[in-house]
Structure 1
Amino acid sequence: MALRNLRRLQQLNIAYFKQYSSVSKLVSLTVDDKTGVSVLSLQRPPVNSLNLELLSDIHNALTEAEKNKSRGVILTSQKDGVFSAGLDIMEMYKPDQDRIKTFWTTLQDCWIKLYGCLYPTVAVINGHSPAGGCLLAMSCEYRIMQTNYTIGLNETLLGIVAPPWFISTMKNLIGHRESELALTQGKLFTSDEALKIGLVDEIMHSKDEGIKKANAFMAKFAKISPITRSLTKQSVRGPTIQDMIKNRQADLEHFLQFTNNPQVQQSLGMYLEMLKKKGGK
């Protein structure tokens, strides 16, 4: 009887693990059945650029974790080197108009889902995290960053103005003055610099160390009612989310107008050409 029960328990554990794994080829979602904490890994080579499909899969994975009553989600990259290089420029260069609309609204939805998750979220930043990659990390409740990498909203260096909700996310994290300096300069912070201003909360020397620290952060909520915790989080973050939702159509229209500007298209083309030349060296 005991052996049969043990086998049954093992089967349940295997089924539970499979239910959380292989959400798509662009992300993986696995759960530690001891802690109930899920790890959401980005795995779109080479640098986890955020295209329509990856954003959609991130959103779906977060929803899946919510449905399965995950006790928290750790967001990281499958491979070290780049956490996420940000938005995929190919989505914006000579775009199909229907696709680019879907791309931007999916980005909006992904941010709303991640920023407003009921469960705790931690970014284990095991690589460079510029622009949209920084947004993903900032949207989590806690950030642990590996040494020798950089993070920041560097849009101004690319001739782009960060959307208001990107800016609000940063301001809520590091304050108005630090955000103004960072945004106007397109600053990419080292891990030590990011720690100093509160852009990240801890430093790690390896992904494994970061996962351990992330689980330690999750454990702080063990004696706190999940409902109370989630309602408190909603009270803190809700106004920012509601402001974005209220203005999301205007945000979309502004993005489309900006992206379709001939000068912007020319700049994007030049940037892509520069990347090709670098890749050929």
Structure 2
Amino acid sequence: MSSRLLSFVGRTGRRRLMSTAIKLTTVEVNDKTGIATLTMCRPPVNGQNLELLLDIKSSINEIKNNNSRGLIITSASPKVFSAGLDILEMYKPDQQRLRAVWTELQNVWCDLYGISVPTAAAINGHAPAGGCLLATACEYRVMVPNCIIGLNETQLGIIAPKWLVSGYLNILPKRVAERALTQGRLFTTDEALQEGLIDEIANSKEEAVDKCVAFIGTFAKVNPVARALTKQQFRADNLRQFHKEREQDVDDFLSLVNRPEVQKGIGIYLEGLKKKANKQ
């Protein structure tokens, strides 16, 4: 994939816009801070279809290779961080494409969860399901008010995979995580802060990004190699288990999604969305 490099002056210094050929994500590197901001740009809600997942993975790999000091992930949407896996990918699916979608979702989680540089999510809107996946893969989360976040898969008749649950358990007490996952609970911004699912609340996207920058800045005087190795020690067991089970996980996901009762539930959900849209 070809790309070109643009420069412009931002609020906190000169920034370089990387990989402008990528349509569904952008990467901006601030020359002053050395921090890269990965922005999802798939209107209207950053539904994670195959193409968006491939672009997110490509952008994470780009950040790995451009010597950035940290990674912030956010959204171009004013109201939604990411609504999660595009439900149309799961309804009456092409089996080969569905397998590719879940494999790329695994890859995105693995790359973001395991990247050596400090990571933070500027959650500037709602973050259910796969949106929560991206946020919890990061080390720090800042969210704007009056939004929701959580893993609500059970409401659609599917389950959060074991590797995603392990990330939840890094953040939430086991009892809280179990209850939330079995209920398919979505936390409000205030509830998420109270439970520890997010670390801070910001009044705007810009403030959320600034708070993420400040978090990454706390490592300025820490040896980056020692920091990365320490992070990897904490996350190594989850990643090893993930790689051991990833092929079976794909098979289990496809088997679950193709169940008649799950397809029926997804169809009802889509019909509800259609009726809601018609009323607006």
TM exceeding 0.5: yes
Match of 1:127 in 2: 125
> 1:103-152 CA distances to partner (integer Å, 9 max, x unpaired)?
11111111000000111110000001111111110000000010111111
In structure 2, distance between residues paired with 1:239 and 1:73: 23
Q: What do the CA deviations read for 1:236-267 (whole angstroms, capped 9, x no partner)?
A: 01110110110001101101111111221122
Which whole-Å CA distance do the structure 2 matches of 1:147 and 1:211 have between them? 14
Decide which moves more: 110-119 or 149-158: 149-158
* Residue of structure 2 aligned with 1:100, choices 98, 101, 111: 98
Unaligned runs of 5+ in 1: 1-10
Written as runs of structure 1 = structure 2, the 5 A alignment for 1:13-28 is 20-22=18-20, 24-28=22-26
Q: Identify which of 211, 214, 230 aligns with 2:212.
A: 214
Between the aligned partners of 1:120 and 1:114, the Cα distance in structure 2 is 10
Whether the 8 Å CA contact 2:6–2:18 is kept in 1: the answer is no
Change (3 A) 1:13 1:88: closer
TM-score for the superposition, normalised by structure 1:
0.92
**1:105 touches 1:252 (CA, 8 Å); kept in 2?**
yes
Corresponding residue for residue 258 of structure 1? 256
Distance in structure 1 (CA, Å) of the matches to 2:209 and 2:21: 20
Give the Cα separation in 2 of the matches to 1:238 and 1:134. Answer: 21
For the pair 1:160 / 2:167, whether they are aligned, the reply is: no
Aligned length: 270
Letter in 2 for 1:269: G
2:127 and 2:149 in contact (8 A); partners too: yes
Structure 2 residue 121 is matched with structure 1 residue 139? no
How far the C-alpha of 1:172 sits from its partner, in A, is 1.4
Q: Determine the structure 2 residue equivalent to 1:115.
A: 113
Q: 1:84 & 1:12 partners in 2: Cα distance?
A: 26
Runs of 4+ in structure 1 off by over 3 angstroms are 11-14, 16-19
The verdict on how the C-alpha distance between 1:23 and 1:195 changes in structure 2, with shifts beyond 3 A counting, is farther
Which has more radius of gyration?
1
Provide the C-alpha distance between the structure 2 equivalents of 1:13 and 1:226, rounded to a whole number of angstroms.
26
The superposition leaves residues 157-189 of structure 1 with CA deviations (integer Å, 9 ceiling, x where unpaired) of 222221111211111111211101111121111
User: Does the 8 Å CA contact 2:38/2:74 hold for their aligned counterparts?
Assistant: yes
Partner residue of 2:28 out of 22, 30, 41: 30
Separation (CA, whole Å) in 1 of partners of 2:225 and 2:197: 27
Q: Deviations over 1:16-46 (max 9, x none)?
A: 9556152511111111111110110111011
Structure 1 position 70 matched with structure 2 position 64:
no
User: What SS class does the counterpart of residue 43 from structure 2 fall into?
Assistant: coil
Are the equivalent residues in 2 in contact too, given 1:23–1:29 (CA < 8 A)? Answer: no
Q: Distance in 2 between matches of 1:118 and 1:279?
A: 42
Q: Any conservation in 1 of the 2:156–2:262 contact (CA below 8 Å)? A: no
Q: Distance in 2 between matches of 1:19 and 1:78?
A: 15
Q: Is the 8 A contact 1:27 1:58 kept in 2?
A: yes
Runs (5+) with no aligned partner, structure 2: 9-13
Q: What is the TM-score of this pair, normalised by structure 2?
A: 0.93
The superposition leaves residues 65-94 of structure 1 with CA deviations (integer Å, 9 ceiling, x where unpaired) of 110011111100112211000110111111
Question: What's the RMSD between the two structures over aligned residues?
Answer: 1.6
User: What residue identity is the alignment partner of 1:242?
Assistant: R
